[in-house]
Structure 1
Amino acid sequence: MLDLDKAATAVADVCTTDPVCSTLVKWFPDAPWMPLISGAIVIMLIIMFAFVLRNVAHRLITRVINRAATSGSITSRFRKGVATDTIDALLHERRKQRAETMGSVLKHVASIVILGTAILTVLDKLTIPIAPLLTSVGILGVAIGFGAQELVKDFIAGMFMLLEDQYGVGDVIDAGAAVGTVEAVTLRVTRLRDADGRVWYVRNGTITRVGNESQGWSRASMEVPVPYDSDVVSVKVLLEHVAEEIWADAELREIKIVEHPQVFGVEKLSDSSLVFRISAKTLPSAQAEVSRELRLRVKTALDTAGISMVPTA
């Protein structure tokens, strides 16, 4: 059975060092149970303050996350009018998912810290020794840490991946274990879908390097091998004409190509061919479609000019 007299005495001793509790006791100096009631009031105030502080922290985190999800734009890097809506939509989705994930983590951390501190403070006010509890929690944390090292590694890697914006939903990446389009990103795993439709679940802690084909912009390029005796100037002029045609194509220019295609001239020499290169900077993940269009137009232009392409080894 709980000895209320002893409990009241213990709370009264603690109450003398608490400014709020001691002030309440002074208002009713002749009430023997006032220290216990004052202690209960202080505990209620601590709990209420903890929940208010938790809600305020969550609101601040939500406001910061919403601002982070909507701020910034990459369209200023490209010429005005080039698929700005598409670029903004992609970047907004990336920022939104990253911000929501980080916001969820920060809210959980804030709740644990604030409510945990409030619980420890309440236990101290109740004269319950918290040193053994902290020791037990520390030992339990160490045991869980040893038993869940891989899980902790995955979460830490996921945190850094989100903070550094290494990739996001919709990106085509090479994660080492799998290559595909990112469908979902969590703190523990990344879900990819490859070209054959298989879904891969890759633990973040196992990803040691990432090749991102969809961040910011991509590049479509094509090597054009022509006979060794071809006129270099004529071939280069022909490829530049193809580049001008592609740049003048309203559909490609507005939704896929970012900058004017470039012809780099002779890139390689061999005993049987001269290899030219033509490339174009494109929107993320649009390089495959632009490359197909480049191949089609270059082949048509070479056939019209009577220039054959030489197979390369």
Structure 2
Amino acid sequence: MPDLWEKLLLTGIVVAVALVLRLVLVFAIRRTVKSLVSRERDVGDDLGGRARRILARASGVSAERHRQRVETLGSLLRNIVDVVLLVVVVLTVLATFGVPMGPLIASAGVGGVALGFGAQSLVKDYLSGIFMLAEDQFGVGDLIRVGELTGTVQEVTLRVTKLRDASGTVWYVRNGEVLTLGNVSQGYSTATIDVPVAIDEDPVRVQDLLRTAVGRMDEEPEFAELLLEPPSVLGVGAMEGGTMTVQVLIKTGPNQQWAPMRAVRARAQRALAEAGVRGPILPGGVAPPSTPGAT
């Protein structure tokens, strides 16, 4: 009987030590998460409003996204701590009561190998999900390309990523199956607009007209939050048949190039038409008078 009470006392001590250790580790994890989130918020507060938004677009990160990623990793670490401590406590208690550990560990090893072979795809999915979160490859709201799929990220878990494409279809992609991934929403987007005119027009004059028409778009309120720098007239990009193509380059926040592209086309058409610049020469030598287009 005294021996039983001694074993129960040892069991209580083991459980108490495990609980105290869990409290310490969870407290450390939470403090670290809180510190990382606060540091990101402080850096954002030191910047001006537009500067902070431009920095977030250029780097592909934001304070909210950083907070979500850090908290997700913190939750994962807490779960790992719970599982490890539970396994250690159970094995220690069984050893205290004299349960043979050799056959138990051997059986667990064989079972683990069998489970590993049977659920290797599941383990692969979870490991890939952990690395995706840790490396911040993408987040909720990002527009990504996975194989032949292109869609907006709706949800990210350790096992699957949920995407919604342009037609509204929701796709579930296993993280372990993602071999090549493109994130359209990180960094910035660029677009080249082709402005076709008649091949015998003066290219220098056409470029000067385009610079006057679109060169200061980034200073206008409508486009100040979209354009990262003034549109750049690159010059003549191609000459074919009766068409000379002048190219304009814009650089915007991630996936925000569509509205500026339409505006550049409209302004280019209007400016060139007002200046009398002819459009591409059609087959047969006929050139539309002062009606250039943009593609």
Q: Does the pair score TM above 0.5?
A: yes
**1:51–1:115 Cα contact (<8 Å) kept:** no
- The residue aligned with 2:140 is 169
Matches of 1:131 and 1:213, distance apart in 2? 53
Matched, 1:276 2:246: yes
SS state at 2:173 partner: strand
- The residue aligned with 1:259 is 229
Indicate the larger mover: 240-249 or 82-91: 82-91
Gaps of 5+ in 2: 281-292
**2:214–2:267 Cα contact (<8 Å) kept:** no
Give 1:171 shift. Answer: 0.9
**2:218–2:228 Cα contact (<8 Å) kept:** no
Indicate the larger mover: 231-240 or 54-63: 54-63
Give 1:295 shift. Answer: 1.9
Give 1:231 shift. Answer: 0.9
Matches of 1:228 and 1:69, distance apart in 2? 57
**1:264–1:278 Cα contact (<8 Å) kept:** yes
Give 1:65 shift. Answer: 2.7
Matches within 5 A, 1:110-129: 110-129=81-100
The structure with the larger Rg is: 1
Kindly tell me: are residues 242 and 271 of structure 1, through their superposed partners in 2, closer, same or farther at Cα, counting changes over 3 Å?
A: same
Give 1:81 shift. Answer: 5.2
Give 1:175 shift. Answer: 0.7
Cα root mean square deviation, aligned: 2.6
Percentage identity across aligned positions? 39
Task: Indicate which of 46, 57, 64 corresponds to 2:14.
Answer: 46
1:92-137 per-residue CA deviation (whole Å, 9 max, x = no partner) reads: 2322332232222211111111221122122222222222222222
- The residue aligned with 1:155 is 126
Matches within 5 A, 1:76-95: 82=50, 84-85=52-53, 88=56, 91-95=62-66
- What amino acid is the match of 1:213? V
- The residue aligned with 1:243 is 214
- What amino acid is the match of 1:305? A
Task: Indicate which of 107, 113, 133 corresponds to 2:78.
Answer: 107
- The residue aligned with 2:103 is 132
Give 1:312 shift. Answer: 9.6
1:146-199 per-residue CA deviation (whole Å, 9 max, x = no partner) reads: 111221121122122112211111111111141111111111111111111111
Matches of 1:212 and 1:309, distance apart in 2? 37
SS state at 2:193 partner: strand
Matches of 1:71 and 1:152, distance apart in 2? 33
Matches of 2:16 and 2:123, distance apart in 1? 33
Between the two proteins, the alignment pairs up a number of residues equal to 277
Indicate the larger mover: 59-68 or 231-240: 59-68
Matches of 1:227 and 1:130, distance apart in 2? 87
**1:242–1:301 Cα contact (<8 Å) kept:** yes
- What amino acid is the match of 1:67? S
Matched, 1:59 2:30: no
- What amino acid is the match of 1:113? V
Kindly tell me: are residues 300 and 97 of structure 1, through their superposed partners in 2, closer, same or farther at Cα, counting changes over 3 Å?
A: same
- The residue aligned with 2:163 is 192
- What amino acid is the match of 2:145? D
Indicate the larger mover: 265-274 or 45-54: 265-274
Matches of 2:39 and 2:240, distance apart in 1? 51
Task: Indicate which of 247, 253, 260 corresponds to 1:290.
Answer: 260
SS state at 1:95 partner: helix
SS state at 1:82 partner: helix
Gaps of 5+ in 1: 5-32
Matches of 1:195 and 1:250, distance apart in 2? 29
- What amino acid is the match of 1:299? Q
Instruction: Point out the structure with the larger helix share.
Output: 1
Give 1:235 shift. Answer: 1.2
Kindly tell me: are residues 269 and 196 of structure 1, through their superposed partners in 2, closer, same or farther at Cα, counting changes over 3 Å?
A: same
Kindly tell me: are residues 233 and 293 of structure 1, through their superposed partners in 2, closer, same or farther at Cα, counting changes over 3 Å?
A: same
Kindly tell me: are residues 70 and 91 of structure 1, through their superposed partners in 2, closer, same or farther at Cα, counting changes over 3 Å?
A: farther
Matches within 5 A, 1:197-236: 197-236=168-207
Matches of 2:36 and 2:216, distance apart in 1? 40
TM-score (norm 1): 0.79
SS state at 1:252 partner: coil
- The residue aligned with 1:142 is 113
